[in-house]
Structure 1
Amino acid sequence: MAAFARRKAQRLALPDPSRKRALDARAAELVRLLNARERFCTTSSCDGRVTVTMTALEKATGDVVFKFEPFVLHVLCRELQDAQLLHSVAIDSGFRNSGITVGRGGKITMAVRSTHCLEVPLSHKGRLMVSEEYIEFLVHVANQKMEENIRRIERFHKGLELALETADPADAVFPQGPEKGHSVYVHRRKRRTAQEQAHPSRELGAQDETENSLDLFAEITI
């Protein structure tokens, strides 16, 4: 426990190594929620983005790629059951590529990830390989993915608040006992299994229908 507390204090004292030098807005709420608990320490996060490797596609001389990256969050956990709790919430929220790793010295890391991504080459050696119409279609698809990404973040945030409160209703900053943490994780898994049996055709975290694409998310000038 003392070793984890020291590791957390040292990591949180370091300057932000990202180019932005600040947390993304939606990720910031989750980071604050987790770091307020003694048993968690966030290490990296991104709330999702759409990027093109060069700002002006028509002036590109190399290879240009259109890319959408969904939300990602990495969290150091003090105990395995803490990582299991986060993993259960992440899976239920649609982040089905989430996982737990145990490194040297017993360092436990929980990664919240999904396969809800997009990466498409647009040009090769300066030559545009797709039509303007296709690029507009990619923008539309990326906007839909971003909308779904935001919904999953919101589900994860709400589910995490509930899970943490259930695990430790007395005081958020005190660590939970091993047995309590394990029981919460098992309970959530059993509840999810019961839901799947009751609704076999329903897949939690499947992409919801989107009404209209949000052109604010992705815009390319060609």
Structure 2
Amino acid sequence: MDLSAEFKRWKAQCLGKADLSRKGSVDEDMLEIVQLLNGQEQFFTTSSCAGRIILLDGSVNGSEVQKQNCCWLLVTHKACVKDDVIVALKKAKGDAVLKFEPLVLHVQCRQLEDAQILHSVAIDSGFRNSGITVGKRGKIMLAVRSTHGLEVPLSHQGKLMVTEEYINFLLKIANQKMEENKKRIERLYHCLQHALEKETVSTTSHPKEKVNTSYIHKKKRNPAKARGKRVTEENDKELENNDHDDPGISVTIFPEDY
């Protein structure tokens, strides 16, 4: 199979689809990064979120909100104020949870070497939960993620369980995390620009050899053993869910100090 031609087909197909996200468009803080990546032959973005503060109302299983059964009471990609949360909480009928979710970006890469370049950029920019997966059909995906999230339950069966003072305290923390997230996004963009410029010069001087992904599939079934990397069940499952038409992830690479 010609992976280069297949990659071009995947890219054209993905970028030609309508945006089915809740917002229907790329977040403003992510626009430059998405445009930069999609303008390169070796990359294209499959999904992204710049980071957000959300208030969810739904059933709770353990400590995790079941998103498919929940109601979105509040969503903002900017700093949030207490009054907005209080007003939104009045609509809660179940178990309301306040969350801050940092940037998430999924990029399909033409070759493993391309994904490794982006992975290094992501780690250096502060997104230390980033990882690479390789699917059986040769799809190479990079997930850019961070660990500085926040998730706190506020109500149970519609009854507020905390004080307004505590909500204000939580929002200060969430807003601080949002500000840090924005700084990391800016750092990611500048580091990405530098890395791509450097790679262009390097490729012109020394053309890269093609990565044999079929060899990777056969030789590295156990990524933790083969590369000495830590692979978590949660990370592996999440990345696999972002490759619906390519089941069976064969390689997952995560940083040593995750």
Q: TM-score range by the shorter chain?
A: 0.7 to 0.9
Q: Does 1:93 align with 2:125?
A: yes
Secondary structure of 1:95's aligned partner: coil
Mapped pair 1:38 → 2:41: yes
Q: Does 1:27 find its partner at 2:57? A: no
Does residue 178 of the first structure (1) align with residue 208 of the second (2)?
yes
Q: Secondary structure at the match of 2:20?
A: coil
The structure whose residues are more often strand, as a share, is 2
Q: 1:63-107, CA deviations, whole angstroms, 9 ceiling, x for partnerless residues?
A: 100010101100000000000000000000000000000112111
Equivalent residues in 2 for 1:62-101, closer than 5 Å: 62-101=94-133
Give the match for residue 155 of structure 1.
187
Equivalent residue runs for 1:1-222 within 5 Å: 1-53=4-56, 54=73, 56-169=88-201, 177-178=207-208
CA distance in 2, matches of 1:180, 1:151: 35
C-alpha deviation, 1:61, in angstroms = 1.9
2:111–2:210: 8 Å Cα contact kept in structure 1? no
> C-alpha separation between the residues in 1 aligned to 2:46 and 2:201?
25
Native 8 Å contact 1:167 1:180 kept in 2 = no
In the aligned structure 2, how far is the partner of 1:76 from the partner of 1:98? Answer: 13
Tell me, in whole angstroms, the C-alpha distance in 2 between the residues paired with 1:70 and 1:103: 26
AA aligned to 2:109 is C
Q: Which runs of 5+ in 1 are unaligned?
A: 182-222
CA 1:92–1:180 in 2, change beyond 3 Å: closer, same or farther? Answer: farther
Whole-angstrom CA distance in 1 between matches of 2:23 and 2:160: 30
Question: Which secondary structure state, in structure 1, belongs to the residue aligned with residue 137 of structure 2?
Answer: helix
Cα contact 2:130–2:145 (8 A) shared by 1? yes
Inter-partner Cα distance in structure 2 for 1:25 and 1:43? 16
Tell me by how many angstroms 1:58 deviates. 2.8
Q: Displaced runs of 4+ in structure 1, greater than 4 A?
A: none
Displacement of 1:159 in angstroms is 0.3
Q: Distance in 2 between matches of 1:180 and 1:9?
A: 22
1:52: how far off?
Answer: 0.9
TM-score by length of 1: 0.76
C-alpha deviation, 1:179, in angstroms = 5.3
Does structure 2 conserve the Cα–Cα contact (< 8 Å) formed by 1:77 and 1:110? yes
Identity %: 61
CA RMSD, aligned part only? 2.0
SS in 2 for 1:105: coil
Taking structure 2 as the reference length, the TM-score comes to 0.66
Distance between the aligned counterparts of 2:138 and 2:149, measured in 1?
A: 31
